[in-house]
Amino acid sequence: SWVHGTTNEKIIGEWIYEFLKKNSNHAISKQPIGDGKFNIIAQNNNNIDTLVTGHMDTVQPNTGWTKNPVCPVIVENKLYGLGTTDMKSGLAIMLSLAINPKLKEGIMFLFYCDEEYDFLGMKKFIEEYKNKIKPKLIISLDGEGLQIGNSCRGLIEMKVSAEGKAGHAANPKSGINAITE
């Protein structure tokens, strides 16, 4: 479910959508992102106290794998495969929770796309839901180390353009410093 050419999270998204429709009593919807991609939102009522999130995409497989990254395999009680910890195990937990008949009211599940690339899924979700829900608790299952964190680091993307004129360090006046000028 990495994003490249004909590969992306559409197929896993369709599978999750159909699984939730068949196995849960939640209101299930697709939130279109563009290029046929979508977030999946499942909620058991409109008064959302808890938001549980997880992304459907992975990074592209790189070199250095000792096993086929797209054919998961268990070796010595360990699962090897692309996305097993980031983020397919978290998605499995979300699905297990979402179909639990004893789940409390007020929970929304967000399965979002494009986390590993441009955050288009989360950006679209925030754009649409920023004034619609006010959860008291947000749980991201995109964690590591089997630890509970009390906060989450964020990401700020900035595009900066600086202009100057190249010069030589021995003769600083030969250039224009892009930072101080």
Token representation of residue 93 = 């937990």
Residue 115 among the catalytic residues: yes
Clarify whether 18 is annotated catalytic.
no
Distance in angstroms (rounded) separating the CA atoms of residues 69 and 99: 29
Given 9, 57, 86, 116, the catalytic residue: 57
Element (H, E) at 110: strand 107-112
User: Looking at 86, 114, 115, 116, which residue is catalytic?
Assistant: 115
Alpha-carbon span 160 to 175, nearest angstrom: 20
| Measured distance CA(143)–CA(64) in Å, rounded | 23
Q: Calculate ∠ Cα 11-35-109, nearest 5°.
A: 55
Residues known to be catalytic: 57, 115
